Structure 1
Amino acid sequence: MAGPADLGTLPVRSSRHVDLNLLTIRILSNREEFDGYAYFSRDAPAGAAADHEIVCVDLDRDPYDPEVLRALSDRTLRAKRFRSGYYLNHIFGEPAYLITEGRRSYVFGRRLERTIWPYFVKRVLTDFAVDHGYLHLKAAGFTLDDGSATLLVGPNAGGKTVFLTQACLDGARFLTNTHVLVRDGEAHAVPSAVRVRRSPQFEQLIEGHGLTPHLESGDFVAAPELLFPGEPRDRGRVRSIVITDYSPDRPRTFERIDPEQAALFLGLFADGVVNYGLKDDLLAHHEGDFTAFTGSLAAMREQLAKLVEGAHCYRANVDMLDPSVRERVLAELSSNGHRG
């Protein structure tokens, strides 16, 4: 069992260069087939340069000496967590070894699809956002006929996906499912596959297209083009922000809230750094520079304040599967105009 004497000559048997709208990532694997590719819905244009590369080496396919990999691994907190089998949030697996060389990351381990979307995409998006003056939010979103965007944020299992799906099936255009980059009130989509739960509605789609199972047991991933009519949108000026927290046990409501309330909520439930536990990664991105790190945090806070001040903000506990409710909610979002 040898060590990787030259990282530049590792075995690569498959690759995919994916388009995330404002940036691209090239993913390479030593496996002929790699499930990590399935989480992306769009390929980068031919000839485009990759903004970041991720090289995934499955140790079941090509074994390397763990002691050598440990010695080569980054000295960051994230690399230490990888070596313990903890990747990000609730995603974990066998020990993995993270090696970073500028805009190229190497990861050695097993079932490495568990690191691509759960960790690498989130980190690369956050790094890009702070370097280019964007705000990275955990949010779903769609655009309406006039091109204006509605962002959906909320707690896990709060109904974002149902709200998004029903809006898009009712004529709205898909913008994003999980991530969005925002600057000066403009939302930029991060193209990705959509999580699909097995149900009579999607059974034929799952079987007919041989969809890849999601990391979470029982679910699958599909490109939005397979699910919704019309081409997905890449961007839209944010007109509305809807905080979804569906609970059939509480009174139904769709009501306006103050921008200050929205900012407090988004700061905890939508901010990428907070939601994904990336504060140590962001500090490492700034090479421990305290002034640069706090400057990035201040810039993100300012972007968030501008975003909610320029939008209509709502709190929603609504059943979007009810046609009459869906019609009323979408009519409100279509007609609310800009804040005066």
Structure 2
Amino acid sequence: MTVSGTETPTAASGDDVENLLGGQYTLRSSAVVDLNLFRVRISSNLTDFDGYSYFTRFVDPSVPGRVDYEVVCVDLDADPVDERIVSSLRDRTFRADRFRGGFYLTHHHGAPAHLVTRGNRIYVFGRRLDRVIWPYFTKHLLTVFAVDHDLLHLKAAAFIQPGSGANLLFGRGSGGKTVFLTQACVDGGTFLSNTHVLVDGLTVHGIPSAMRVRHDRCFGELIDSAGLAPHLEASEYRVDPALLFDHQPPAQATVRNLCIIDYDADRPRRFEEMDVEPFAAFLDLFAFAIGTYGLKDDVLAHLGNDVLAYGAAFSAMKTRMLELIASCRRLYINADMLDPGVRRETLAALAG
């Protein structure tokens, strides 16, 4: 990871936040995160900011280049910032109100914070702000980027099979997606993404990030031996995919299979195709980013609270998802990928 030291605030281009508050805090670290199709500069007034650790691909921040978004994190315990001024500048949006109450997104909570948006630069003032980087900003920026560039943002893992295409993996929490993904890659597949993808037609773009793993029979030994850092939840840990796989993920691939992974050892093993409608019903709330993460208010605010523009953007993204579902093989899979025989049969069926 490349993190710069003390530097002139990147926001020093004259917006009202910098003009009113820039002299009250110092940005002591900065990292440019590469999310494949776009880049985000994350800056903090903390020298050691844990928010950088959720990502795995960085660009040297001292090298001039395109940065699509900026997130400026100001810890109110590190510098004497006047919260009265911050409060007067905060966004008047649903999400800003939730941040003030310590609710970030879905089930993620923390200390109250102030959200201030100025174009493609977002300021957040609060405490323990590493807890808003992955739960909120990553999902928010991927979704608005997808809206602005006619793409589809899905919550999905992805891997490529040799001589075949990409498999997108969807599922409920603790349904076995990460174990399926890892075992498929150990058995010859190419890792593409663990949590997020952007899709353009049948082309899928992986999003580089740390993987979340649990202390189970698949990852327990790795967690203990490598001393992995905890993720946001007490039962989860972060690991760089480079520790698991001996290849760099490709930038993109062509989608072949869409798979709902639903491992349950108490139910019969299953590998069967699904119709479009029930498959789409599942993806609506378990993979389609706007619905899955509850980002409807954020997208509406991003579009200037223009209901017609929101309706058009939402409809277009849903159409892209339905076209993807209709164009690929749709599978429901309950398989113990830690069983070598079951794994070989399952991967052969995917490639067949």
- In structure 1, the residue matched to 2:245 is 228
C-alpha displacement at 1:68, in angstroms? 2.4
Paired residue secondary structure (2:58): coil
Instruction: State the TM-score, normalized to the length of structure 1.
Output: 0.93
| Percent sequence identity over aligned pairs | 51
Judge conservation of contact 1:257–1:313 (CA < 8 Å) in 2: yes
Output one character per residue of 1:103-153: Cα deviation in whole Å (capped at 9) or x when no partner.
000001111011001001111111000110101000111011126110000
- In structure 1, the residue matched to 2:26 is 11
1:301 counterpart (318, 325, 334): 318
- In structure 2, the residue matched to 1:26 is 41
- In structure 2, the residue matched to 1:38 is 53
C-alpha displacement at 1:223, in angstroms? 1.3
One-letter identity of the residue aligned with 1:6: L
C-alpha displacement at 1:204, in angstroms? 7.0
Judge conservation of contact 2:284–2:292 (CA < 8 Å) in 1: no
Judge conservation of contact 2:179–2:218 (CA < 8 Å) in 1: no
- Compare 215-224 and 114-123 and name the one that shifted more: 215-224
> Is residue 86 of structure 2 the alignment partner of residue 69 of structure 1?
yes
In 2, Cα distance between the equivalents of 1:303 and 1:200? 37
One-letter identity of the residue aligned with 1:311: C
User: How many residues get paired?
Assistant: 333
C-alpha displacement at 1:266, in angstroms? 1.0
In 2, Cα distance between the equivalents of 1:240 and 1:312? 5
Judge conservation of contact 2:159–2:193 (CA < 8 Å) in 1: yes
Q: CA RMSD in A?
A: 1.9
1:1-340 → structure 2 map (5 Å cutoff): 6-9=20-23, 10-44=25-59, 46-146=63-163, 148-198=165-215, 206=223, 211-335=228-352
Output one character per residue of 1:71-113: Cα deviation in whole Å (capped at 9) or x when no partner.
1110001000000000011111111001011000000111101
- In structure 1, the residue matched to 2:8 is none
Judge conservation of contact 1:39–1:117 (CA < 8 Å) in 2: yes
In 2, Cα distance between the equivalents of 1:15 and 1:210? 25
One-letter identity of the residue aligned with 2:251: D
Paired residue secondary structure (2:188): coil
In 1, Cα distance between the equivalents of 2:18 and 2:224? 40
The change in CA–CA distance for 1:333 and 1:201 in structure 2 (over 3 A counts) is closer
- In structure 1, the residue matched to 2:9 is none
Output one character per residue of 1:29-64: Cα deviation in whole Å (capped at 9) or x when no partner.
111101110100101364321110000011121132
C-alpha displacement at 1:201, in angstroms? 6.5
The change in CA–CA distance for 1:200 and 1:304 in structure 2 (over 3 A counts) is closer
Unaligned runs of 5+ in 2: 1-16
C-alpha displacement at 1:334, in angstroms? 1.4
One-letter identity of the residue aligned with 2:194: N
In 1, Cα distance between the equivalents of 2:318 and 2:109? 30
C-alpha displacement at 1:24, in angstroms? 0.6
- In structure 2, the residue matched to 1:338 is none
In 2, Cα distance between the equivalents of 1:207 and 1:154? 27
One-letter identity of the residue aligned with 1:265: F
C-alpha displacement at 1:6, in angstroms? 3.2
Unaligned runs of 5+ in 1: 336-340
Judge conservation of contact 1:35–1:212 (CA < 8 Å) in 2: no
Output one character per residue of 1:310-332: Cα deviation in whole Å (capped at 9) or x when no partner.
11110011111111111011111
Judge conservation of contact 1:4–1:64 (CA < 8 Å) in 2: no
